[in-house]
Structure 1
Amino acid sequence: MLRIWIAIVGIVFSALSYSAEESSMSLLDNRFRVDPSIKQITFVIYRAKSSQPVVLVRPDGKKYYAWRSPDNVRWYQESSMDIISIDNPMPGPWQAIGKVTPKNKIKLISHLELSTDKMPNRLYLGESIKFNARLTSNGQPLVLRDFLDRVKLKVTFTKFIENEETLVKEARPIPEVIGEFADDGRGLDEVAGDGIFTVLLPVSSEPGKYRVRITSGNGVFLRAQEQEVLVYPQPLLSTFIQSRVVGTPHKVVISGEQGMILPGSISAHIEHNGPDGDKVTVQGSAQAESNKLELEIPNSENNGNYSWSGKAFATEMGSERPLIFEITEHTYSVVEEVDLAETRRLQELERIQQQKMLEEMQLLQMREEKKTRTMIFIGVGNIVVLILGLVVWFVMGKLRAKKQAIPEMQLEMPKK
């Protein structure tokens, strides 16, 4: 009796273990059966390296090719792999014709679904959020590494417009890709290859209403989810106060907007870089009930260019949602201290020299103007004299002609 119970438990445990994995099978003549309940299925077929894509044969004998297939078939190919996704596949025995490697199995992925975290309805410009998406097959996490490595998941923001579908294509807003998911165990992704994709989304879109689409696609697998969100102006303001006194530290002041940020929730991590490559890290948190945080940065006496950047953390009032904001890099310079008295003396000397030069230029200009007026007077005088000479010459000529004409008239008169 005990042996029977042990056998039953073993069978149940084996069945549960099998259901958590993708379906795979060794093929006889590369044949496999599709169940009538399956509405969408994906075949992952391994074949000899550099061989031609397989030919997929339906139960009724119709053939599907990588370069020719109906609209419900999507085909992704590599030098040693085919990934074929079919919507509403025909139930019954299928066959893959090609150089399928005997050491590998054809993987069948059915009831493939994409689920994601729900994005907050209220986002803030400049914030970064961790966002997860999950792929499941038959309700279980999909952990087929070869397939996951070729899935591309991305998040797009599109400006919201009412009845967008009624607009012509050229008038529709262009989606902006703001993040791509990864399941590689790096960054914020917790475990590589567990079917959970993670992305750090930097909200860079200007305040307004947007359609957010989470899509996946590797040429064969296409899924999409959509929701509407509102982007608000950034509720945290960071200010740098540069000290002009040696020994007095600089300050970074981070202020939260009243009614948006929970008092006492602000904290920050600042990295300060000097011109010689030296780095100083400062961090701190606001006091209870305070909406302002002040951090002090040591004031170096070295001249040169400095930079600072970091992250600010806060909690949204009302929802108590944790917020993360990237503080972009800012720069400032430290120059040699200036002797104010000597500077004023040099400025006054320069002012006097400029005034003297201005007076000399004005005097020279007056001389030039006087000389010009004299030349004009001389020229006008010469012209007047010339005109008067011509007039006198003309009048004298008339008079001489008149005198010569009188004696001739007297000779011609007859004597009485």
Structure 2
Amino acid sequence: MWRLLMIVLFVPMLSWAKSTEMSWLDNRFRVDPTIKQVSFLVYREKTSQAVTLVRPDGTKYYAWEHPENVAWYEENGMDIISIENPMPGPWQAIGKITPQNKVKILSNLTLNVDSLPTKLYQSESLKFTARLLQDGKPLVLRDFLNRIKLNVTFTPYLANEKNLVKEARPLAEVLGTFEDNGEGLDEIAADGVFTVNLPINVKPGKYWVRIQSRNGVFLRTVEQDVLVYPSPIRASFTQGRNENQSHSMTIDTEAGTIKTGSLAAHIEQVNPDKITSVTQAQSDHDDEKLYFDLPNSYIPGKNTWTGWIYATDMATDRPLKFFLGKHSYGVTEPIDLKAVYEARIKAEVAQRRIEEQEKIEEERADARKWFWIYVGIGNVLIIFLILAGIFGWKKIKDIKKQKETLPKSEKLSMPPRPKV
């Protein structure tokens, strides 16, 4: 009886284990014809290169060369190979595999993604969830889950996008990455539930939203088209003029979009001393706007504030959350006008003195310059006169010598006048 009970209890468990995790037998494993999608986790020696995967018909797949229906993730000591519509039959892996290493086969994986609201608002943030299922049940294999990177991309919608050449297609913008690490909005790590805090930081318009693997571990892509509307929330921060006046925040809404009385705000301020103050406020039941004061520490330097606005969509009753971003404002030291005026007068007097002194120095320098010019001219004239005198004296001396060398002529007298 006990043996029969043991068989009944453990045979199904062993059979299930064999289907998901099996030891390598000549590095071969079989894929059933009913399997439409399969992923292999291959554990190999740490320093070895990626395995070569051989299809039943002998075709070889490599980490760097494989068809589009194959995704290959490679890291030190592990390969994760995902195949859409695999060929039924015996597959073989060639590589540095030891008897202790095993292959884990994951088949019939599906990605179940929450539907986004068809109407989104610019600058809102929302929790977005995706679930990875195997045969309809959450997949909890940590080695596989830890390596899946799912991105959420927004691409401007074009009806004929597939008919355009690649260069003409609109570019996708990554707005978030799903995580299954138990941090942020994710509740439990490695439970097969991926979560992202999705910020709608795109311009208003129609978009294709795609959820797909960033590193190729998972091939499936989920698509949805959404409309992004302008933000119905307007936040205005007014800085207090002095230490006795509080800052203020005004939250206004677009008419007919936000449910009355649903506005709430959470504001965080950080002063130059790195001290954070938190202010929360909520609108009255019949109010479409929200106005409240914020503390004014009036500490000189750079101050910052950030916050979130919570509301409810009037048409769908959907809760909304808007991030206001990070903003800064400055506070200067109190100004003593009389002291500033006196300091300015003193500065002007000192500046005039400096200018007068510089003018005197310039005049002195100019006078010295002309003095030396006159001295130079006088010296030149003196030298010229001396040279002219020497030249004239020599000239006169030469003339005298010429006269002395000439013969003396007899003196002629006039004949006497005749008598009448």
Q: Distance in 2 between matches of 1:275 and 1:95?
A: 64
Q: CA deviation at 1:340?
A: 7.2
What is the root-mean-square deviation in Å for CA atoms of aligned residues?
Answer: 3.1
**Which digits, 9 at most, give the CA deviation of each residue in 1:221-254, with x for residues without a partner?**
3111111111111111111122225433211121
- Cα distance in 2 between the residues matched to 1:92 and 1:167: 39
Matched residue, 2:130 = 133
Output aligned runs, 1:377-416, within 5 Å.
none
The 2-side partners of 1:22 and 1:297 are apart by 62
What is the distance in 2 between the residues matched to 1:191 and 1:311? Answer: 25
Distance 1:308 1:108, change over 3 A: same
How far 1:7 moved relative to its partner? 6.2
2:151 aligned with 1:154 = yes
1:117 is aligned to 114
Equivalent residue number for residue 48 of structure 1 = 45
Of the three residues 245, 248, 267, the one matched with 1:248 is: 245
* % identity of equivalent residues: 53
- Indicate how the Cα distance of structure 1 residues 302 and 219 shifts in structure 2: closer, same or farther if over 3 A, else same: closer
Higher CA-based Rg: 2
2:356: which partner in 1? none
Q: 1:293 is matched with which residue?
A: 290
Matched, 1:98 2:84: no
Secondary structure of 2:236's partner? strand
> Which region of structure 1 is more displaced relative to structure 2, 175-184 or 249-258?
249-258
Residues 27-42 of structure 1 mapped to structure 2, 5 A cutoff: 27-42=24-39
* Aligned positions of 1:14-413 closer than 5 A: 14=13, 18=16, 23-338=20-335
Partners of 1:168 and 1:65 in 2: CA distance: 29
Question: Shift of the alpha carbon at 1:339?
Answer: 6.3
CA distance change for structure 1 residues 211 and 331 in 2, over 3 Å: closer, same or farther? same
User: How big is each residue's C-alpha offset from its partner over 1:323-359, in whole Å with a ceiling of 9 and x where there is no partner?
Assistant: 1111112222233445679999999x9xxxxxxxxxx
Aligned length: 346
- Note the alpha carbon deviations across 1:2-45, whole angstroms, 9 max, x for none: x7996698469848x959x9811223223222111012211111
Other structure's SS at 1:223 match: coil
Matching residue's letter, 1:286: S
Separation (CA, whole Å) in 2 of partners of 1:341 and 1:135:
72
Equivalent AA in structure 2 for residue 113 of structure 1:
T
- TM-score when normalising by structure 2: 0.74
Indicate the residue corresponding to 2:360 in structure 1.
Answer: none
Counterpart amino acid of 1:82? D
What is the TM-score with the length of structure 1 in the denominator? 0.75
Q: CA deviation at 1:80?
A: 1.0
Deviations 1:143-172 (A, max 9, x none): 222222222211111112232223232222
- Work out whether residues 57 and 96 of structure 1, in 8 Å CA contact, stay in contact via their aligned partners in 2: yes
Distance 1:22 1:316 in 2: 48
Check conservation: 1:189, 1:198, Cα contact below 8 A.
Answer: yes
Moved over 6 A (4+): 3-9, 339-347
Question: 1:335, 1:61 → 2: CA distance?
Answer: 77
Could you say which residue in structure 2 is the equivalent of 1:413?
none
Stretches of structure 2 that go unaligned for 5 or more consecutive residues are 346-420
Tell me if structure 1 keeps the 8 A contact 2:54–2:91: yes
**Deviations 1:66-86 (CA, angstroms, capped at 9, x unpaired):** 344444433332231122222
Output one character per residue of 1:305-334: Cα deviation in whole Å (capped at 9) or x when no partner. 322111111111121111111111222223
Mapped partners of 2:58, 2:212: distance in 1: 34
Does the CA contact (< 8 Å) of 1:273 and 1:280 recur in 2?
Answer: yes
1:199 match: secondary structure: strand
Q: Render the CA deviation track for 1:268-322: whole Å, top value 9, x for unaligned.
A: 1111121222221111211112122223222234333322111111111121111
For 1:227 and 1:154, the matched residues in 2 are separated by 14
